[in-house]
Structure 1
């Protein structure tokens, strides 16, 4: 019998769930509140094709193979030539060409697995000293977007450091921006018969003849499910997007090792993101609870002053924003991904996204939770009011999630 599955939210997680369910033969309806699909994976229309925050695909994750097998990955921006020599590190107030050797050797490459129940700062300090631990914690901001990575679980930070610092780099970028990936996923959904309803805001949980998958940001999901306890910590980041007139000698990226922060020139890899003769940058600066947008902007400007000579006079376009709780889950000491909000909410309702109980980092969590939610939903023998459902809320049942 054909199953009906309703999905609320048309971002990367929602579209992944829609494609997975449709491929399994389900009849799928997806509701998206905005006029366009994509959620946080949207890319602005030209002339400056900026994403709503940093978006990279790590090629070590299960979503990479899944997208490639379906022809959805598309063309990737090439890795910039001699990229390691064009990255600068802000350390002890100066811009340097190489990070501290002790940080690379003892913290990023240490073979011992970090503990879950100890914070990263304490664990790394015991291994390599306070200075190295702080530099490594700050560097991890490129994959965490949190103002104090040293306070997070040592295991959580270590895993992300290793992947963010891998050689060759795991992080790759979709040519033309993440919006291109969303366009391909949406087109594939149409081909599979998914009913895509845009500009369709859902205020209450749908009463549907079949499972419902909620693929919204966690605060929206909490309102929709009437569960104020549905929370998990995420980062708060100031984003500064800039278009500058091109200049020879600008670095590919600046990583701040004195405090979490990062500036990247995306047109190094993908010149088509900005008009000819211009380059597109994004600065990503995590800010703490007591800090303001102005604090993050000031941090960005200090890094720009150090690495991008004359950037103020060269600026032809600028945009600033704050990304609140939109950078994925972070795990405190004593917790892992298994402690986050469960995927299976009971009564045929499932929760997916980047802050739920699924393994991986960043978009991988969205992908894995979406595939798991569909797997659980298709196992139910009846509709939302039925019985006999699997209630694990875990992603461990799928072999691909072990990748």
Structure 2
């Protein structure tokens, strides 16, 4: 349970939420000399960047760190990037595409030609499918929309803003690939961030659910749903995706692919032990996938697509399964921007002079996937520091 400091007394900055956004905010504020207390309702830090403890190190769904993002440099400057696991060339060559009902070694030629267009060429107020069809034809536009679902976790990327989708398509299809993988799973990254925060003097309280906001500037770095309940603000809403997450441990088979990208419908399977064998014991491999579905689509439909893709890419997988688990992620995979909107239209970080600031992956900050959490965490902390300085000097 969170505590409430004495009314009227500035006690530093409070951060609610110990995921990537909260840890980034806490580090930023502490580096500037503020006293920071971080509350995390869960018994461990990391949020969606948690990794299960061995012998199988599952992330909360497929995760990758894009090396051109602003958080890459922020982490490296602080020595927090840590060792990275990247697939050897022989594994990268095992990339497969499900197209026309078959597995193929190469995608349709127009996919990467379309992906090379800059996001600045794509309009905000037109949906991606319409814009891409005008430039590459209907078939290529649909393939591109399905491919980019790996960076969206959304069942219909073609219906979203063209500018929003094109930025993600360009980065997801970049050559050489931008994706990198923290060795040992994303939990190792959040552990390094937590250790750095601790060394800076951040007071970290886990299993500490805040129900009443304390005095002083507060950074609310939770999911948007949790922030809406905590702040009693029904306006804190923004669309996201709904995705079936599938985790499998399979006995190793030499012919298994590294990635299977579904181009006939949004879907993705990735063998994470291809780049990081430490995620599972010898002789076993860890496969994670995500299969987006619409808000009213039965979970069974996504599961059927997942199993069909597994049948094609991982023959005999049922007999080789050591461990299997599934989860439905609803609104837990970041914001998506419909036509006519940008990240600037999402819930604001500064809640209007109240000393409350939002951070997370569904708020008004730029970036792809976890980059939004990092960017908003830095911005929220900077605003909280200004608010704290105003309190200390008696200003507004």
1:66 corresponds in structure 2 to: 74
Deviations 1:29-79 (A, max 9, x none): 001101111111110011110011122111111110111111111100023
Query: In the alignment, does 2:153 pair up with 1:145?
Result: yes
Q: Flag the structure with more relative contact order, 1 or 2, with Cα contacts below 8 A and sequence separation at least 6.
A: 2
Structure 1 counterpart of 2:244, from 235, 238, 241: 238
User: Within 5 A, what are the aligned runs for 1:318-397?
Assistant: 318-346=324-352, 347-380=354-387, 381-383=389-391, 388=396
User: Offset of 1:85 from its aligned partner?
Assistant: 2.4
Matched-pair contact (CA < 8 Å) for 1:348–1:385 = no
Instruction: Provide closer, same or farther for how the CA distance between residues 269 and 387 of structure 1 changes in structure 2, counting only shifts above 3 A.
Output: same
For the residues of structure 1 that align with 2:237 and 2:305, how far apart are their CA atoms? 29
1:108 corresponds in structure 2 to: 115
With the length of structure 1 as denominator, give the TM-score of the two structures. 0.93
Structure 2 counterpart of 1:192, from 186, 194, 200: 200
2:3 corresponds in structure 1 to: none
Query: In the alignment, does 2:231 pair up with 1:262?
Result: no
2:320 corresponds in structure 1 to: 314
Deviations 1:173-224 (A, max 9, x none): 10000110111111111111100011111112x232x210000000000011
With the length of structure 2 as denominator, give the TM-score of the two structures. 0.94
Matched-pair contact (CA < 8 Å) for 1:211–1:384 = no
Matched-pair contact (CA < 8 Å) for 1:244–1:316 = yes
Matched-pair contact (CA < 8 Å) for 2:132–2:138 = yes
Deviations 1:130-178 (A, max 9, x none): 1111000000011111000000000000000000000111111100001
Structure 2 counterpart of 1:123, from 113, 131, 135: 131
For the residues of structure 2 that align with 1:84 and 1:316, how far apart are their CA atoms? 25
1:212 corresponds in structure 2 to: 218
User: Within 5 A, what are the aligned runs for 1:41-56?
Assistant: 41-56=49-64
Query: In the alignment, does 2:233 pair up with 1:227?
Result: yes
Instruction: Provide closer, same or farther for how the CA distance between residues 23 and 248 of structure 1 changes in structure 2, counting only shifts above 3 A.
Output: same
Structure 2 counterpart of 1:172, from 174, 180, 184: 180
* Secondary structure at 1:382 match in 2: helix
Structure 2 residues without counterparts, runs of 5 or longer: 1-9
Structure 1 counterpart of 2:303, from 297, 307, 329: 297
* Secondary structure at 1:332 match in 2: coil
Matched-pair contact (CA < 8 Å) for 2:344–2:365 = yes
For the residues of structure 2 that align with 1:165 and 1:226, how far apart are their CA atoms? 40
1:396 corresponds in structure 2 to: none
* Secondary structure at 1:46 match in 2: coil
Structure 1 residues without counterparts, runs of 5 or longer: 389-403
Matched-pair contact (CA < 8 Å) for 1:343–1:351 = yes
Query: In the alignment, does 2:37 pair up with 1:24?
Result: no
User: Offset of 1:382 from its aligned partner?
Assistant: 3.1
1:78 corresponds in structure 2 to: 86
Instruction: Provide closer, same or farther for how the CA distance between residues 274 and 384 of structure 1 changes in structure 2, counting only shifts above 3 A.
Output: farther
What root-mean-square deviation, in Å, do the aligned CA atoms of Structure 1 and Structure 2 show? 1.5
Q: How many residues align?
A: 384
User: Offset of 1:341 from its aligned partner?
Assistant: 0.4
For the residues of structure 2 that align with 1:214 and 1:97, how far apart are their CA atoms? 45
User: Offset of 1:253 from its aligned partner?
Assistant: 0.4
For the residues of structure 2 that align with 1:190 and 1:289, how far apart are their CA atoms? 40
For the residues of structure 1 that align with 2:98 and 2:386, how far apart are their CA atoms? 52
Query: In the alignment, does 2:278 pair up with 1:272?
Result: yes
User: Offset of 1:295 from its aligned partner?
Assistant: 1.5
User: Offset of 1:387 from its aligned partner?
Assistant: 5.4
1:201 corresponds in structure 2 to: 209
Instruction: Provide closer, same or farther for how the CA distance between residues 385 and 44 of structure 1 changes in structure 2, counting only shifts above 3 A.
Output: farther
Structure 2 counterpart of 1:250, from 245, 256, 268: 256
User: Offset of 1:379 from its aligned partner?
Assistant: 1.6
